[in-house]
Amino acid sequence: MKYLHIIPLFIFLVSFSACETDDDPVPDQFEVTYDMVEVDSSGVMGTVRISNDLLRDIFITVEVEGTQAGRSYPLSINNASEHLDWPEVITLNPIDGEGLSHTNVNQIQGMQTTIEEWLSLDGLVLVHESQDSLQNHLSIGYLGSTDPNIPGGL
């Protein structure tokens, strides 16, 4: 009788000790954010966010400040990942007059990807000055091992 109080504790511990294995290393919903830094004192900076939803659609959202209201800015990712058989340049939806771009990657023609591939991407997110001036960049985001703020980056 003196050990009866231990039985509920034992049942509680056993119920939480069951292991559940999951072969998918990334949760159903996942998000990672990188900084966008200004180029040549342009004043354009912000964040790039890579995320997915429960349907496994993958989204890239870029939010920047320092852009001119009402103007559109081309946006791209330059792929530096040798392990991914992707285009060298991936064009995203342009940044609108409010400083926002939201791209569903699954809707880019020819892009059949997983969130794991996007999380392993080494590349650069580039905000371009204009469609006529794609070589001029206003802001840059470093993805993966190109990020100078992580050990081993750039």
Model pLDDT, residue 154? 46
72: which residues sit within 8 A by CB, 6+ positions away?
94, 95, 96, 97
Confirm if 99 and 64 have CB atoms less than 8 A apart.
Answer: yes
Which segments of the chain have a pLDDT < 50?
18, 22, 151-154
Model pLDDT, residue 139? 95
Model pLDDT, residue 23? 54
Model pLDDT, residue 144? 78
- Residue-wise pLDDT tens digits, 83-95: 666 677 789 999 9
Which residue in this structure is represented by tokens 């040798």? Answer: 82
Angle at 128 between CA 127 and CA 133, to 5 degrees: 175
CATH 2.60.40, applies to 26-146 = yes
Model pLDDT, residue 153? 47
- Nearest CA to 50 out of 144, 153, 148, 126 is that of 144
Q: Where are the domains of the chain?
A: 26-146
Alpha helices in 54-126 (DSSP H): 115-119
Q: What are phi and psi of 119, to 5 degrees?
A: -75, -20
- Nearest CA to 98 out of 135, 53, 61 is that of 61
